[in-house]
Structure 1
Amino acid sequence: MRLRATLLCATLLALHLPSFAAAPIVPISAFVDENKYTIPRLSPDGKQLAITVRVPSGERTVPVIMVYSLPDLKVTGGIRLPVHEVPLDYDWVSNARLVIARGFEQGSRTTLLNHGELLASDIDGKNQVYLHGYRMPRTMVRGGRHPDDHATGVVEGVAREYNNHVFVSSQLWEADRTLLYDINTQNNARKLIAELPMKELNFLVQNDGRPRFAFGVDADFHAVVFRNNEAKGAWDKITGMGSRYTPLAFSPDDSRFAALYSKTGEPESLVVEDARSGERKTLYADPVAMPLRLYGGRGGLPFGAASSVGIPRASYFDDASEDARLHKLLSDQFPGNFVNFESASRDGQTMLFSVRSDRDPGSYYLFDRKSGKADLLFTSMEAIEPDQMAERRPVGYRARDGLEIHGYLTMPRRAAGAKLPLILIPHGGPHGVYDNWFFDTDAQFLASRGYAVLQLNFRGSGGRGPSFRDAGYRQWSGKIQDDLVDGVKWTIAQGDIDPRRICVYGASFGAYSAMMLAAREPGMFRCAVGYAGVYDLNLLTKTDEAVLDRRIGVAVDRFVGKEEAELTRSSPVTQAERIKAPVLLVHGGQDKRTPIAHAEAMRKSLTAAGRAPEWFVAPSEGHGFYDTKNQAEFYRRLESFLGRHLGQP
């Protein structure tokens, strides 16, 4: 892939609709042609675009922040981090400088590792300053004494003057304190502007640069909110904030602010409050889902929202507002797609918006408010033709205990009346993670081969509020698996699926579920695939990450349990004798999140039970594969494995 050399410049009315002609078999290469362009950010003057581009480096690709002039897309700068380091996020602090949150790649099937390091750089990669992180010696910081930066640094905001200043919270690792600094990114001069005696707080800073709220959760995972009482020179703890309360953003004049609020664990509502009186108004509430928020591209209050369950459709808080009218105009020109304002110039005249759907992984357009023109800049996965992709249908059912579960069924094209083989894909995580309606590479690859694909947001998943998420705690081998089995039974009952041809495939926690389901329901699943899986729960607190981060042990206790006997009973490695279906195990030799010891133990147990699995290990990979050759080889093996055990669709 390459950035388009010329822009597709057209008025919105000239945009065409997709056709529905029969599609040829899509090559595997199209699905491993990764999302090359991410994190697009317009400069304050709207004349430049910073975007992460993955470029070839040996047998893999690495992310580089590229800067292009607009609208001609000429390269004006670039910032490349050391090997294995990646930009997690960044923002402009002037028209010539960026602040960057730096992380590390662990594998394609996990989040990037974040140690809380921040740096600043000119767009040409020069004048780099290390702003925050555990590798910072005291001598690098100006502005007086400070604690060592053994802490997670979070950019809480950029000065609205774009004068190279940022607001950074320092969430100390070994002390019950959180600090907030105003940092000059040119020389790392710091000014401490807030300090609170609690760990892991975030801050909401007003547009005028004054910190107003600090918020987080306590040891019992209850919402904690502090408000800056400038008259007293102290931070007041606000009581009665319910199960969750997250301040989000201020209006331009700082008179109002938006927040997410859950009183008793229900899905968070989007509310707006008066900063002086505290009067609260609900903007958006959904009884089964938290909102996807719509912003104007350069801060301020959200102008709309959509449900995170089902197909997202925008709901506007004021139909007459400029942002709402523009969003509706654009949405009308892209039927069947979801439009999101990604970034905007400081004056709001130039805007970058994305267009995505279940079939389209994402296209990005530059919009000029004065001319009303939209210029296509790039597509996320250029080898994907949306017309050839499959529909993702929202589904819903009640589990055996009455809990409402939602998910998605990706349906390939088929001959009339033909019943389809089904692949169940439990998501990873599992807590707080959820599948959505948008393009899913695994689902579309399998659908392109003729399989229906079922993805369910079982209890414990995100997007449904704190109570639904908490309902999955200590239910890894229990009710979570019940939800998945009940979902398969419901799908079979709809009449489109061949009940004799069902396989389960998952990654990370999804691989755990794949093995547990194969053991629990040997008559339901004809085969099982585990990728980067968790198979021995007793190993969870023995990884390198767990040794370095004691919070992992606390999380394992809360999420899974702590008694060795309980963990043993709930581990797939102890259930191998019950697994009758053929198994494919896939793992990375350098996986730090779920070390290969998990896969080796599962392989040993299956072999001892007379069910030796098929085995594919990529020695240099982590928690998921980055090398496109390894990705392609995995898909080839997956396609072959499914074809042999389910029959060709």
Structure 2
Amino acid sequence: MCGRIRLFLTLIFSFILSINSAWAEDVKSPGDIPIKAFAQLPAIMDMELSPDGSHIAYMVPHKGRKAIVIRNIESGKLSGIPAPDKADINWFKWVNNKKIAVSIGYTAQRYGTTTLETRLYAFDLPSGNLKNIIKPRKRKGSVSTLTKEDFDVQIQDRVIDWLPDDPDHILVSIDGDWDGASEIRMVDVNDGDFTELTDGMKGIQSYQTDQQHELRLSWGYWKSDFKQLYRSPETGKWMQIEEGQLAKLNLDPIAFDKDPAIAYAKGLNEAGRFAVYKVNIPADKVVEEVYSDEDVDTDHIVFDPLSGRPIGVRNYREKSGYMYFDKYFAALQKVVDKALPNTVNRVISRVKGQKKFLIFSSSDVEPGVYYLLDFSKGSLDFLAETMPGITPEQMSPMQYVRYIARDGQVIHGYLTVPRGREVRNLPLIVMPHGGPEAQTVRSFAYRTQFLASRGYAVFQPNFRGSEGYGPAFQEAGENQWGGLMQDDVTDGVKWLIDQGMADPDRICIAGASYGGYAAAMGAVKTPDLYQCAVSINGVLNLPMLKAKDKRYTGGRAWIKTMGLEGADDEEVSPYHRVDDIKIPLLIIHAKDDFRVPLRHAEMMVDELKDEGKDVTFVQLEDGDHMLDTEAARYATLKAMEAFFAKHLGAGSPGSMATQ
């Protein structure tokens, strides 16, 4: 294995050097930046310091997938973990100074359904050995163990606590006997031996520990019902909390204070936005408000990367960033932001007992840069950029916009205008986000920036159903597939036309996942508004998706929000509305998409061809639902470039730099 590691490290660094030099040559305008620069996986990903600060680990692309490199900071000596065959490295984390936990994922078939499988390994730095550390358990009531196939549990990498004070163990949640009740194992990272702390509870799939690393919170689905439990520090008994006063106030515990009775919880403020509060769970009451914003939701709690304790929040205002209620990190953030003023900066790793911090810095025009901040040396050193060949000066800033939908609702979104272009009569690509309960935020997006580099404006509305604007706004999108959510997108396009920003004769709609559904439904409902549509891994057959999702844990609950209230699913399913499509469609779908199976695209393309419609189909042989390989991204961008050039005209001179 050591020889293989040395070989792939040599290949990786030769590759990185070549793209740095090749993409830097002869790039005179954004339109000259080749597709490969945008399609590349980040050259450096998920960098992390070892607990003692002696090593740094990070992921790199290798043959279109991801591998791990470990570097001794003082000597420069390299070690690594090659990309697995026909699988992907999902994430890694230092467990101690010699061991790294590694999650590996791949797609498989179970009972005729495509699934995402995960496995958990431990990499030993001194020996270079990589070992699976999840072992099978005996079936309850059985005198013998199951077969290997029976032990092949689908999800094996749910680490709920890294136990920073115990360098040899981690806590893992795993449903070892497939009964819908996940047990908690204390796993030895050296040999995979484990002790079960709990045998699991019916309908509970997720757990959370407190700052003392004791199991304190659990939740999950039983059939279509959601349940949430809290474990009393005094009695050790689990009690339901989804029906108390805190639940009535929509206060959802998400992290714990030093006192395990006190939790940080997300709940509604007077403006109807999610804020963060401290609550006393046993007393069922609010203690204090921690952070609140009247315009947008508080997105998530930020944790100390070393201890795991809560230290701050992040929200997605027009200009997003981190706000710390921990005084130490608040002071540290001021120092970092002063040194790096034009980006969103975050401490992603630090060394215990040393003033040494790993900083990640990014923005809507900067994919990301890693820095090492060392107060003992008084230095902030550049380490690596994530996407060589992409420079902020050539990218297009996202502009915040808001408009009024047909029923008076204010809708927020972003318009990305090609650099140097006046915001008048622009060719426009409308890009609804996926989810649909997701949100477009101000951050670097390779598809958006690629299209802007080719001369197209990109409009990304946060239609009803989107996160970030309070639960009432998000819930307004439930059972509105093809309804309000679609109308909000349409109203935004018409507003841009009325404002003179968009050329009404050069507009296409494109999206991925739910966004691919919205693009196809745009072709169904408003074909006169668009010149073309692009669906990437899109939901094209709604009844088929709902039938599939019912088979997953929690599926019976979430499919209740799909479809359109008062209408049959076929009425808002693109496959069943092919007769109404009048514009050209580009359908791109990954063969190994586990979320929305390839069959959606195949059936849609066959039906369109049978009806004599204009359709182009690109099947991606590599990559899954998230297009997480370079080959999938490249093929997608290349197909989109040619398709939009054909139906909208090239967006700008030099916009066909396809290599």
Tell me if both proteins adopt one fold, taking TM over 0.5 as the criterion: yes
Counterpart AA for 1:90: F
Q: Which residue does 2:397 correspond to in 1? A: 391
From 369, 373, 377, give the equivalent of 1:367: 373
Q: Please state if 1:200 is matched with 2:204.
A: yes
Counterpart AA for 1:209: H
Q: Rate the CA distance shift 1:562–1:496 in 2: closer, same or farther, 3 A.
A: closer
Q: 1:283: Cα distance to partner?
A: 1.5
Contact 1:295 / 1:341 at 8 angstroms: preserved in 2?
no
Counterpart AA for 2:169: H
Q: 1:384: Cα distance to partner?
A: 0.7
Q: Please state if 1:97 is matched with 2:99.
A: yes
Q: Rate the CA distance shift 1:260–1:90 in 2: closer, same or farther, 3 A.
A: farther
Q: Rate the CA distance shift 1:484–1:298 in 2: closer, same or farther, 3 A.
A: same
Q: Which residue does 1:109 correspond to in 2? A: none
Q: Which residue does 1:291 correspond to in 2? A: 299
Counterpart AA for 1:298: L
Alpha-carbon distance between aligned partners in 1 of 2:314 and 2:213, rounded to the nearest angstrom: 30
Q: Which residue does 2:50 correspond to in 1? A: 43
From 83, 86, 90, give the equivalent of 1:84: 86
Contact 2:223 / 2:553 at 8 angstroms: preserved in 1?
no
From 335, 342, 346, give the equivalent of 2:341: 335
Give the secondary structure class of the aligned counterpart of 1:641. Answer: helix
Q: 1:497: Cα distance to partner?
A: 1.8
Q: Please state if 1:175 is matched with 2:183.
A: no
Alpha-carbon distance between aligned partners in 2 of 1:425 and 1:233, rounded to the nearest angstrom: 49
| Superposed CA offset, 1:109-158 (max 9, x none) | xxx9654533323135745443337xx3649xxxx999968474421112
Q: Please state if 1:54 is matched with 2:61.
A: yes
Alpha-carbon distance between aligned partners in 1 of 2:458 and 2:277, rounded to the nearest angstrom: 36
Q: Which residue does 2:482 correspond to in 1? A: 477
Contact 1:603 / 1:612 at 8 angstroms: preserved in 2?
no
Contact 2:583 / 2:614 at 8 angstroms: preserved in 1?
no
Q: 1:529: Cα distance to partner?
A: 1.4
Q: 1:423: Cα distance to partner?
A: 0.5
Q: Please state if 1:636 is matched with 2:638.
A: yes
Q: How does 1:361-510 map to 2 (within 5 A)?
A: 361-416=367-422, 418-430=424-436, 432-510=437-515
Alpha-carbon distance between aligned partners in 1 of 2:68 and 2:433, rounded to the nearest angstrom: 30
From 11, 17, 33, give the equivalent of 2:40: 33
Q: Which residue does 1:70 correspond to in 2? A: 73
| Superposed CA offset, 1:378-419 (max 9, x none) | 111112111100010122233323333222111112454742
Q: How does 1:113-262 map to 2 (within 5 A)?
A: 114-115=116-117, 117-123=119-125, 126=128, 128-132=130-134, 136=136, 138=138, 150=153, 152-153=155-156, 154-171=158-175, 174-175=178-179, 177-195=181-199, 197-216=201-220, 224-229=228-233, 231-238=234-241, 239-242=244-247, 245-250=251-256, 257-262=263-268
Contact 1:257 / 1:301 at 8 angstroms: preserved in 2?
no
Counterpart AA for 1:499: P
Alpha-carbon distance between aligned partners in 1 of 2:384 and 2:560, rounded to the nearest angstrom: 45
| Superposed CA offset, 1:71-126 (max 9, x none) | 55431x323463233332332221101223332269xxxxx965453332313574
RMSD: 3.6
Q: 1:459: Cα distance to partner?
A: 2.0
Alpha-carbon distance between aligned partners in 1 of 2:465 and 2:558, rounded to the nearest angstrom: 14
Q: 1:194: Cα distance to partner?
A: 3.6
Q: 1:552: Cα distance to partner?
A: 4.1
Alpha-carbon distance between aligned partners in 1 of 2:16 and 2:591, rounded to the nearest angstrom: 39
Q: Rate the CA distance shift 1:418–1:275 in 2: closer, same or farther, 3 A.
A: closer
Q: 1:250: Cα distance to partner?
A: 4.4
Q: Which residue does 1:529 correspond to in 2? A: 534
Stretch moving more, 636-645 or 191-200: 191-200
Contact 2:232 / 2:282 at 8 angstroms: preserved in 1?
no
Contact 1:359 / 1:438 at 8 angstroms: preserved in 2?
yes
Q: 1:177: Cα distance to partner?
A: 3.0
Q: Rate the CA distance shift 1:116–1:83 in 2: closer, same or farther, 3 A.
A: closer
Alpha-carbon distance between aligned partners in 1 of 2:70 and 2:311, rounded to the nearest angstrom: 29
Alpha-carbon distance between aligned partners in 1 of 2:439 and 2:625, rounded to the nearest angstrom: 18
| Superposed CA offset, 1:540-574 (max 9, x none) | 2566xx596365465434423799x8222211123
Q: Which residue does 2:287 correspond to in 1? A: 280
Contact 1:93 / 1:162 at 8 angstroms: preserved in 2?
no
Unaligned runs of 5+ in 1: 7-20, 107-111
Q: Rate the CA distance shift 1:308–1:299 in 2: closer, same or farther, 3 A.
A: farther
Q: 1:458: Cα distance to partner?
A: 1.7
Output the TM-score relative to the length of structure 2.
Answer: 0.83
Alpha-carbon distance between aligned partners in 1 of 2:559 and 2:168, rounded to the nearest angstrom: 41
Counterpart AA for 1:511: G
Alpha-carbon distance between aligned partners in 2 of 1:251 and 1:369, rounded to the nearest angstrom: 28
Contact 2:394 / 2:419 at 8 angstroms: preserved in 1?
no
Q: 1:639: Cα distance to partner?
A: 1.8
Contact 2:416 / 2:459 at 8 angstroms: preserved in 1?
yes
Contact 1:86 / 1:105 at 8 angstroms: preserved in 2?
no
Q: 1:276: Cα distance to partner?
A: 8.8
Alpha-carbon distance between aligned partners in 2 of 1:369 and 1:611, rounded to the nearest angstrom: 64
Q: Rate the CA distance shift 1:80–1:524 in 2: closer, same or farther, 3 A.
A: same
Alpha-carbon distance between aligned partners in 1 of 2:192 and 2:421, rounded to the nearest angstrom: 64
Task: Say how many residue pairs are matched.
Answer: 612
Give the secondary structure class of the aligned counterpart of 2:32. Answer: coil
Q: Which residue does 1:518 correspond to in 2? A: 523
Contact 1:218 / 1:224 at 8 angstroms: preserved in 2?
no
Q: Rate the CA distance shift 1:581–1:422 in 2: closer, same or farther, 3 A.
A: same
Give the secondary structure class of the aligned counterpart of 2:245. Answer: coil
Contact 2:203 / 2:227 at 8 angstroms: preserved in 1?
no
Counterpart AA for 1:260: K
Q: Rate the CA distance shift 1:631–1:205 in 2: closer, same or farther, 3 A.
A: closer
Alpha-carbon distance between aligned partners in 1 of 2:271 and 2:307, rounded to the nearest angstrom: 28
Unaligned runs of 5+ in 2: 1-11, 18-27, 109-113, 652-659
Stretch moving more, 597-606 or 216-225: 216-225
Contact 1:297 / 1:351 at 8 angstroms: preserved in 2?
no
Alpha-carbon distance between aligned partners in 2 of 1:408 and 1:225, rounded to the nearest angstrom: 39
Contact 1:290 / 1:464 at 8 angstroms: preserved in 2?
no
Q: Rate the CA distance shift 1:148–1:386 in 2: closer, same or farther, 3 A.
A: same
Output the TM-score relative to the length of structure 1.
Answer: 0.84
Q: Rate the CA distance shift 1:538–1:314 in 2: closer, same or farther, 3 A.
A: closer
Q: Which residue does 2:574 correspond to in 1? A: 572
Counterpart AA for 2:290: L
Q: 1:30: Cα distance to partner?
A: 1.1
Q: Which residue does 1:10 correspond to in 2? A: none
Counterpart AA for 1:458: F
Identical aligned residues as a percent: 29
Counterpart AA for 1:375: D
Give the secondary structure class of the aligned counterpart of 1:241. Answer: helix
Give the secondary structure class of the aligned counterpart of 1:336. Answer: coil
Q: 1:220: Cα distance to partner?
A: 5.9
Stretch moving more, 89-98 or 631-640: 631-640
Alpha-carbon distance between aligned partners in 1 of 2:91 and 2:513, rounded to the nearest angstrom: 24
Q: 1:454: Cα distance to partner?
A: 0.7
Alpha-carbon distance between aligned partners in 1 of 2:579 and 2:429, rounded to the nearest angstrom: 23
Contact 2:93 / 2:100 at 8 angstroms: preserved in 1?
yes
